[in-house]
A and B are shown apart, each in its own frame.
Chain A
Amino acid sequence: MRYQELFPVPIEWLQDSDRSMVETISLWAEQEVKSKRLEHKEDYEGLLLPAMRKLFLDIGLQSMMLPEELGGGGIDSPDAAVTTTAVLEQVAAADSGIGFLFANALALQYALAISPNKSAEPLKEAAPVFTGGDIALCSLVLPAYGSDTKERPRYYGLDYPATAVKTGAGWVVSGGPARPQCCGATASIFGVVCDLGDGTPGMLIVPAGAKGVKKGKPFKKTGLAASVNADVTFKDVKVPGSALVLEGIEALRAVLSWYYMACAAVCAGSLQTTHEILQEWGDTRVIKGKGQVFKENPLVASLMGEIGGKMGTSRLLTYNLARMLSRPDVYGPAGAGSLHVSAISAFKQVGRMAMEAMDNTMELMASAGYATEWNLERYWRDVKTVETYVVPETVAQTCMARQYFNLKQL
């Protein structure tokens, strides 16, 4: 039985075109990533970049959310939430690092292209980057922990990575070094969350090649080999007025809600491959002392049950969040407090369950769980990296408490 049938989600939310895309991406995953993995491991040039070219350019994921009239795929309504979730799941099943890059692109394109954000000028400015034939990686640069105690406007306790000052028709962005969410060394575009001067957050599109953008040396991290990350400094970077793609807390929260959904899909997708790996392990190993197929041992089975439960619940939560974001007419805008917190909550829960399921799978596989040959450990490292990058735990907890229990001061 296929994974999608083993762990069902409400299928009436998926359109035929979504299913067709899922098939296409599954084929890409098998041909371009999984079949080459033993040979190339996590090699960026040898495996990941060629696979990304195929996915982002040849299949067209890079521009799928831009309007057709600008050369995009035209999936530019809120329905894109479910479509992209289904797609992201398959991308992450192949490589969660590539999935995370796509999640960043998705959040940025949401800010640009999905109604109600859609605005002609910024779209027209940005579209050629995505449709021009070169791979265009995107990265969000989000508020983060700071390094001093000076009084200044903050975003829920976190320091803004940069400030943006209006000068004539344009903006001047200054700040950093800041840690992008991904691919700081290879990104074409940064979506930088800035303090617009009075503590109001805004997101500005900053091309990586703009004068004053300085990328640091790529640094090492636990996982996400597809994301070659480096800290970035913005020194008096001048961008046009149209670079401001959103303004205000609710607008920023809306982008983050979509980002959390996308990252939940990355975690859920990683579980799909975890299931494949564990299925094979359980079918083929024998507890020799008992002459027993591994999965038929009651202790093993009990843990497998737990793992399966987390896989199924992760999918359900992720797709439900996607559905809620796809129907603002029913559930309200993505940036509204309640939906935003549901997005945080779903992402944190899916991330946690994914880690637990992978931890437990590794426990069942013992040494094979941490050997690269069996592939599980790369997903384990990737998902943990996603979990840490997207939002620090204490910030997520505070956001949830604020909404759920009506906090007044935090």
Chain B
Amino acid sequence: MRTIDDFTRPLEYLSPLDRYLGEIGRKWADTEVIPIRRDFDEDWEHHKLIEPCFRSLQAEIGFQRMLFPEDLGGWGLGHSGYMGTGAARLFEEVARADSGMAVAFGVLFWPLVMICVEPHVNRRLCEEFAPMFMESRPVFAANAMTEPQGGADIENMEIVGGSTIQTTAVLEGDEWVINGHKLWPTNSGGVADLFGVVCTTNPGSKDPDDLAFIFVPAKTPGCTQGGPYEKAGMAADKNSDIWFDNVRVPSWFRACGPGLDALYFKEVVSLGNLGSLAFVSGAMMNVWEILRDFTSETTFRGKPLKENDDVAGVLANFAGGVDIIRVLTYQYARMLDRPDLYGDRWSEEIVAKGRAYKYFACDKAVEDLKKVMNLMGAHGSDRAHDVEKHWRDIKIVQLWMGGKQLCQMEVARWFYECETL
């Protein structure tokens, strides 16, 4: 019988850890999440069902430590040369079960990329924060970027250059004093233990030196999180408002320093695009599994649904889409793993191509999922089959990180050398 492992990946790109990451992730998904995920929607606020799944994945298996250097208790993925392909495999397996969990899990590494990944490892901050992630409970981090009015404008680095950031960081002695209001970070709403906060040291400035990426432990006085927002899906991903009111942290909590924070922040965007691709790939493979079973067990015109030519046409288009998205995911992961061949992960080219692949994959997945739901009739929107869950979740993947229009601008800007957009 065909399985999801029959979908194509460029095998020569894969991490030596690929098989183990895949097997562990698959087993966790099959035993701990898929049997109960149908009730996650009602658990969006309190995470009574969801939290134990995170505990198992992050603390008991220990994935939350994997980015840190080995001598600090981590697995050294940040300097392995396989961060991209390794992450893609693991995120795929998690998203196959639940892409809300996948994003919450993936985002715990997002701010840590600024300090744990070669060539910009900040050893002192790694030492500071590693113990937190070695604990025997699920620990989360979050990137506080988006702000009210203007949304993800700050991710539009090429044009806006940080000039719209209203969260300020002022150096007073050997401390940063941070003030501002952020919206929407994954793992907010009381979840995160550590924030990476995108600030400006000079409001209105486009000078890259003035963009600061500063770490703020969530328990720091003056840092307040609101309650989680209710959303169309992704119950495992909590988002909320965060306020920074005269929050003081040591001056060395700045990730990389003037100019470099702005530079490596673009790498965060690239990795966000890789995560998004892997989430889509994992979710789509699960839909393929569901569809395989549904169209074998359900009959139309007196024969199994899949044995009808018109249905087979829809199934073929869907499977082809899954295969393409998976190949694209690993191709981009490889590009991030081999900057010597493809360019820096923070380069305009890599960011633009990541945006292009991400929105292509999301658009394709959303359209294909709609067709699958229409094919399944009432069962397509029935939560018992989980297809509708993936549809809601993937729609969210399509819209985050600034939405589609921002993706389009970055892609056009690089491929067509637009100068004013």
Q: Is A398 part of the contact surface with B, judged by Cβ < 8 Å?
A: yes
Chain A residues, Cβ within 8 Å of B370: 355, 384
- A285 and B156 contact, Cβ closer than 8 Å, known pairs A384-B373, A392-B376, A394-B300: no
List A residues 351-410 near B (Cβ within 8 Å): 355, 359, 362-367, 369-373, 377, 380-381, 384-385, 387-389, 391-395, 397-398
Q: Which residue of B149, B374, B399 is within 8 Å of A285 (Cβ)?
A: B149
Q: Is B303 part of the contact surface with A, judged by Cβ < 8 Å?
A: yes
Q: Is A305 part of the contact surface with B, judged by Cβ < 8 Å?
A: no
Chain B residues, Cβ within 8 Å of A397: 310
B365-403 CB mask vs A (1 if < 8 Å, else 0) is 010001101111111111110001001100110111011
Chain A residues, Cβ within 8 Å of B404: 363
Interface size classification for chain A: 35 or more
Chain A residues, Cβ within 8 Å of B149: 285-286, 288
CB proximity of B131 to chain A, nearest CB, Å: 33
- A363 and B232 contact, Cβ closer than 8 Å, known pairs A148-B299, A288-B153, A388-B380: no
Q: Is B159 part of the contact surface with A, judged by Cβ < 8 Å?
A: yes
Chain B residues, Cβ within 8 Å of A366: 151-152, 399-400, 402-403
Cβ of B388 and Cβ of A289 under 8 Å apart?
Answer: no
Chain B residues, Cβ within 8 Å of A391: 377
Cβ of A154 and Cβ of B381 under 8 Å apart?
Answer: no
Cβ of B163 and Cβ of A145 under 8 Å apart?
Answer: no
Q: Which residue of A145, A380, A384, A392 is within 8 Å of B299 (Cβ)?
A: A145
Q: Is B311 part of the contact surface with A, judged by Cβ < 8 Å?
A: yes
CB closest residue in chain A, given B234: A370
Cβ of A146 and Cβ of B298 under 8 Å apart?
Answer: yes
Q: Is B409 part of the contact surface with A, judged by Cβ < 8 Å?
A: yes
Chain B residues, Cβ within 8 Å of A365: 399, 403
Cβ of A220 and Cβ of B378 under 8 Å apart?
Answer: no
Cβ of B377 and Cβ of A389 under 8 Å apart?
Answer: yes
List A residues 115-171 near B (Cβ within 8 Å): 144-152, 154, 157-159
Q: Is B150 part of the contact surface with A, judged by Cβ < 8 Å?
A: yes
B140-152 CB mask vs A (1 if < 8 Å, else 0) is 0000001001111
Chain B residues, Cβ within 8 Å of A157: 300-302
Cβ of A154 and Cβ of B310 under 8 Å apart?
Answer: no
- A146 and B300 contact, Cβ closer than 8 Å, known pairs A289-B160, A370-B396: yes
A393–B305 alpha-carbon span in the complex (Å): 13
CB closest residue in chain B, given A386: B381
Cβ of A222 and Cβ of B388 under 8 Å apart?
Answer: yes
Cβ of B395 and Cβ of A367 under 8 Å apart?
Answer: no
- A363 and B405 contact, Cβ closer than 8 Å, known pairs A219-B382, A287-B153: yes
CB closest residue in chain B, given A181: B378
CB closest residue in chain B, given A223: B381
- A389 and B378 contact, Cβ closer than 8 Å, known pairs A289-B164, A363-B404, A377-B232: yes
CB proximity of B415 to chain A, nearest CB, Å: 16
CB proximity of A185 to chain B, nearest CB, Å: 14
Cβ of A394 and Cβ of B303 under 8 Å apart?
Answer: no
A368–B398 alpha-carbon span in the complex (Å): 13
CB closest residue in chain A, given B382: A221
Cβ of A288 and Cβ of B310 under 8 Å apart?
Answer: no
CB closest residue in chain A, given B371: A393
- A370 and B302 contact, Cβ closer than 8 Å, known pairs A285-B149, A384-B370: no
A289–B405 alpha-carbon span in the complex (Å): 14
List B residues 224-259 near A (Cβ within 8 Å): 229-233, 239
Q: Which residue of A154, A222, A288, A364 is within 8 Å of B164 (Cβ)?
A: A288
Q: Is B8 part of the contact surface with A, judged by Cβ < 8 Å?
A: no
A397–B323 alpha-carbon span in the complex (Å): 26
A152–B163 alpha-carbon span in the complex (Å): 70
CB closest residue in chain B, given A397: B310
Cβ of A159 and Cβ of B384 under 8 Å apart?
Answer: no
CB proximity of B378 to chain A, nearest CB, Å: 5
CB closest residue in chain B, given A298: B421
A366–B231 alpha-carbon span in the complex (Å): 12
Cβ of B405 and Cβ of A145 under 8 Å apart?
Answer: no
Query: A-B contact count, CB below 8 Å?
Result: 170
CB closest residue in chain B, given A351: B374
Q: Is A49 part of the contact surface with B, judged by Cβ < 8 Å?
A: no
Chain A residues, Cβ within 8 Å of B308: 394
Q: Is B314 part of the contact surface with A, judged by Cβ < 8 Å?
A: yes
CB closest residue in chain A, given B399: A366
Cβ of A392 and Cβ of B399 under 8 Å apart?
Answer: no
Q: Is B215 part of the contact surface with A, judged by Cβ < 8 Å?
A: no
Q: Is A210 part of the contact surface with B, judged by Cβ < 8 Å?
A: no
Chain B residues, Cβ within 8 Å of A364: 403, 405
A296–B169 alpha-carbon span in the complex (Å): 32
Cβ of A373 and Cβ of B230 under 8 Å apart?
Answer: yes
CB closest residue in chain A, given B229: A371
Q: Which residue of A41, A151, A299, A300 is within 8 Å of B302 (Cβ)?
A: A151
A152–B302 alpha-carbon span in the complex (Å): 8
Q: Is B297 part of the contact surface with A, judged by Cβ < 8 Å?
A: yes
A154–B308 alpha-carbon span in the complex (Å): 15
CB proximity of A96 to chain B, nearest CB, Å: 13
Chain A residues, Cβ within 8 Å of B183: 367
Cβ of A392 and Cβ of B232 under 8 Å apart?
Answer: no
Cβ of B150 and Cβ of A372 under 8 Å apart?
Answer: no
CB closest residue in chain B, given A224: B381
Q: Which residue of B151, B305, B391, B398 is within 8 Å of A384 (Cβ)?
A: B391
List B residues 301-328 near A (Cβ within 8 Å): 301-305, 308, 310-311, 314
- A154 and B302 contact, Cβ closer than 8 Å, known pairs A288-B164, A384-B370, A394-B308: yes
Q: Is B408 part of the contact surface with A, judged by Cβ < 8 Å?
A: yes
Cβ of A288 and Cβ of B160 under 8 Å apart?
Answer: yes
- A372 and B366 contact, Cβ closer than 8 Å, known pairs A367-B151, A394-B300, A394-B375: no
Q: Is A310 part of the contact surface with B, judged by Cβ < 8 Å?
A: no
Cβ of A392 and Cβ of B160 under 8 Å apart?
Answer: no
Cβ of B232 and Cβ of A149 under 8 Å apart?
Answer: no
CB proximity of B328 to chain A, nearest CB, Å: 20
Cβ of B381 and Cβ of A388 under 8 Å apart?
Answer: yes
Q: Is A179 part of the contact surface with B, judged by Cβ < 8 Å?
A: yes
A289–B160 alpha-carbon span in the complex (Å): 5
CB proximity of A343 to chain B, nearest CB, Å: 17
A41–B41 alpha-carbon span in the complex (Å): 15
Q: Which residue of A147, A355, A372, A377 is within 8 Å of B297 (Cβ)?
A: A147
Given pairs A221-B382, A392-B377, 6 additional interface contacts (CB within 8 A): A300-B405, A359-B395, A372-B230, A388-B373, A394-B308, A394-B311
Q: Can you spell out 30 A-B residue pairs with CB atoms less than 8 angstroms apart?
A: A41-B230, A145-B379, A146-B300, A148-B299, A149-B299, A149-B303, A157-B300, A157-B301, A158-B300, A220-B383, A221-B388, A222-B388, A285-B151, A286-B149, A289-B156, A289-B159, A299-B408, A355-B370, A364-B405, A366-B400, A367-B146, A367-B151, A367-B400, A371-B229, A372-B232, A377-B232, A384-B391, A388-B379, A393-B377, A394-B375
Which residues of A approach B to under 8 Å, CB–CB? 41, 144-152, 154, 157-159, 179, 181, 219-223, 285-290, 297, 299-300, 303, 355, 359, 362-367, 369-373, 377, 380-381, 384-385, 387-389, 391-395, 397-398
In the A-B complex, the 10 residue pairs with the closest CB atoms: A366-B403, A289-B160, A288-B150, A392-B377, A393-B374, A157-B301, A220-B383, A377-B232, A222-B381, A370-B232
